[in-house]
RNA sequence: GGUCGCGUGGCCGAGUGGCUAGGCAAAGGUCUGCAAAACCUUGUACAGCGGUUCGAAUCCGCUCGCGACCUCCA
């Protein structure tokens, strides 16, 4: 099947036809987490979004090198303290213990959300020499200056010489330039507010430090992504992704560093995911408007009435386009939970459908095929998962109708039915990365066997019109949140 | 204050100059021993006010409201 993949490029603010640099190969870099605290649910949204993008690119035949970094040094807070150090101080741990602890936690959360691991997951601390080299290159090209052992990127000069600063984030360069030096914090060694550190001299109490030509210190936050993307994907590569809030200054500075060090263009397509909101507002720890993934899963929060499983949350995320804000509310999650169940049930129903040997394909056959084509078209259109899901849900009602006899299976060719089974399965599990949680909950077949026995016994009772026994079984199972579904061809069951 | 984006039916959420998005909820119907599930039907939705157009929810302007970024953030 031909694909005309289009994606929205934050740089041009337009959907563009996607043309990888090398046929059949895609290099994709996504800014990963800073591992100083438990992973935030908003982080999870971003990584789930890029997980689906990664999965779909692979699904349509690309070989993808997906690089997602771990930031374990150099990320400064307002007060100038390193995030890693702050975490270490609070928990009385070595910085590397902090990094390890939260890296493990992050990986566990990605596993829970069924996000595939990236091809390469480089750490900032593992690439100090590469970052030092990049600083040297920037200095050599005249876009940096040293001050008391620290090195700063000379944004003003970069703007004057290249004129390429501010394009991604829509900064007004004149305004940036016009900012006076008075705006500088008093202790700053920067010449201009728009300048940023690429190497920081470590203060005496700073534990994370490496030798460099300028001082014992550590790299600036933005530098790692420039250095590591260049190292693993080359000076120019296909896709760079991250959260919307990284556009400025992080990504803008990344571009400046790439160009400033080697006239490299860096990424050709920039993709940004939008924010996750909680009850209409940005999640924020300070005002209590926040919920952690574990709290969400078990329902341990004032913001939700109950727990929602990781796959329900993942499905919920896919119902919104990655470039739109996603508002997490209890009501919306309840709706998503039911929709998710309906989707999973439909897959089971579909896989149980048998083709009619004497089928004569008619309009229904054509409709199914056209809906399936639509599934690909929607994904090709900037990874429009909500629209893709809409198409899939249209298939769901066709599937249920075929099962229930409202639509004749005799009008669907064996080939079309086989394709439907394949496409449905592929999109739900392979592309969207959803999991059937019932099947994975240590179900070794015992439950299926027991349920079949109970269903058989109930069928006998119903045959004798013993409604008392029949309803007793039904009600007892219901109290266990197991639902019996009586159909034309017998009874099936599922979880509520 | 500056920059950018958004405002869609009870809720969530796509879309976009003329053609049913979809999910959840609600109502009626089919099926059923009764239900549930499933299926069918049902919504004069596009913040407000102007303008462009044969035609706008979709383009333009203004107003109101919300959000993001501008400082650490996915």
**Which domains, ranges and CATH numbers included, belong to chain A?**
6-81+90-273 (3.40.50.620), 278-437 (1.10.730.10), 442-495 (no CATH)
Whole-number Å distance, CA A329 to C1' B12? 9
Would you call A68 helix, strand, or coil by DSSP? strand
Res. A1: pLDDT tops 70? no
Rounded Cα distance between A263 and A241, Å, is 21
Res. A186: pLDDT tops 80? no
Res. A54: pLDDT tops 70? yes
Mean pLDDT of A106-111: 96
Res. A182: pLDDT tops 80? no
**Residue A280 exposed, middle or buried by CB count within 10 Å (0-12, 13-18, 19+):** exposed
- Residue A286's pLDDT is 66
Rounded Cα distance between A156 and A260, Å, is 12
Whole-number Å distance, CA A3 to C1' B61? 40
Q: Binning pLDDT at 50, 70 and 90, where does residue A442 land?
A: low
- Residue A36's pLDDT is 84
Note whether A53 and A383 are within 8 A (CB).
yes
Rounded Cα distance between A305 and A332, Å, is 12
Q: Binning pLDDT at 50, 70 and 90, where does residue A78 land?
A: low
Mean pLDDT of A75-90: 69
Least confident range from A123-132, A252-261, A265-274, A432-441: namely A432-441
How far lies A351's CA from each of A26, A308, A355, in Å?
33, 26, 11
Rounded Cα distance between A320 and A328, Å, is 11
Say which residue, A194 or A30, is predicted with more confidence.
A30
**Omega into A249 within 30° of 0, i.e. cis?**
yes
Share of chain A above pLDDT 90, in %: 66
β-strands A281-282, A276-278: how paired? antiparallel
Backbone angles phi, psi at A362, to 5 degrees: -125, -155
Tell if A397 CB is < 7 Å from nucleic strand B: yes
Tell if A396 CB is < 7 Å from nucleic strand B: yes
Mean pLDDT of A1-28: 89
Most confidently modeled range among A9-18, A194-203, A388-397: A388-397
Rounded Cα distance between A193 and A424, Å, is 53
Nucleotides of B under 7 A from a protein CB: 2-5, 10-15, 21-25, 31-40, 66-74
Res. A167: pLDDT tops 80? yes
Rounded Cα distance between A257 and A253, Å, is 6
The pLDDT mean for chain A works out to 90
- Residue A76's pLDDT is 60
Give the H or E element holding residue A372. Answer: helix A363-380
Backbone angles phi, psi at A494, to 5 degrees: -160, 170
Q: Binning pLDDT at 50, 70 and 90, where does residue A77 land?
A: low
Tell if A345 CB is < 7 Å from nucleic strand B: yes
Residues 49-78 of A with CB under 7 A from strand B: 75-78
Tell if A307 CB is < 7 Å from nucleic strand B: no
């Amino acid at each position: 099947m031909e694909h005309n993949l289009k994606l929205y490029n934050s740089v041009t603010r337009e959907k563009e036809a996607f043309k990888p640099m090398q046929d059949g190969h895609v290099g994709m870099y996504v800014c990963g987490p800073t591992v100083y605290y438990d992973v935030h649910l908003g982080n999870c949204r971003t990584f789930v979004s890029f997980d689906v993008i990664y999965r779909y690119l692979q699904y349509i035949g690309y070989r993808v090198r997906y690089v997602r970094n771990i930031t374990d040094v150099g990320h400064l807070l307002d007060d100038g303290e390193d995030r890693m150090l702050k975490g270490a101080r609070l928990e009385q741990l070595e910085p590397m213990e902090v990094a390890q602890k939260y890296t493990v936690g992050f990986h566990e959360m990605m596993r829970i959300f069924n996000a595939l691991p990236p091809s390469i997951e480089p750490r900032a601390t593992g690439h100090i020499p590469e970052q030092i080299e990049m600083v040297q290159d920037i200095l050599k090209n005249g876009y940096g200056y040293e001050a008391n052992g620290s090195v700063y990127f000379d944004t003003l000069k970069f703007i004057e010489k290249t004129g390429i600063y501010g394009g991604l984030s829509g900064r007004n360069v004149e305004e940036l330039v016009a900012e006076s030096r008075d705006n500088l914090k008093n202790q700053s060694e920067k010449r201009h507010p728009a300048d940023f550190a690429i190497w920081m001299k470590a203060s005496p109490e700073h534990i994370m430090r490496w030798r460099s030509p300028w001082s014992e210190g550590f790299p600036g936050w933005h530098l790692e992504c420039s250095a590591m993307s260049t190292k693993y994907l080359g000076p120019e590569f296909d896709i760079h992704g991250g959260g919307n809030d990284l556009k400025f200054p992080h990504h803008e500075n990344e571009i400046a560093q790439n160009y400033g060090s080697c006239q490299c263009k860096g990424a050709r397509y920039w993709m940004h995911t939008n924010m996750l909101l909680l009850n209409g507002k940005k999640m924020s720890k300070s005002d209590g408007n926040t919920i952690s993934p574990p709290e969400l899963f078990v329902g341990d929060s004032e913001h939700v009435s109950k727990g929602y499983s990781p796959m329900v949350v993942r499905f919920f995320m896919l119902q919104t386009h990655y470039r739109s804000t996603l508002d997490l509310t209890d009501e919306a999650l309840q709706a998503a939970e039911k929709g998710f169940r309906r989707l999973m049930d439909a897959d089971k129903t579909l896989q149980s459908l048998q083709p009619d040997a004497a089928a004569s394909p008619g309009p229904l056959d054509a409709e199914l095929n056209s809906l399936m084509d639509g599934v690909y078209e929607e994904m090709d259109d900037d990874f429009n998962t909500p629209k893709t899901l809409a198409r899939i849900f249209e298939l769901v009602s066709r599937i249920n109708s075929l099962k229930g006899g409202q639509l004749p299976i005799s009008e669907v060719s064996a080939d079309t039915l086989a394709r439907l089974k394949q496409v449905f399965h592929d999109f739900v599990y392979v592309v969207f990365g959803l999991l059937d949680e019932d099947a994975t909950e240590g179900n070794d077949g015992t439950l299926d066997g027991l349920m079949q026995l109970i269903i058989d016994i109930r069928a006998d009772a119903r045959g004798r019109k013993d409604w008392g026994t029949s309803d007793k079984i039904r009600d007892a199972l219901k109290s266990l949140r197991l639902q019996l579904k009586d159909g034309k061809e017998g009874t099936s069951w599922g979880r509520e």
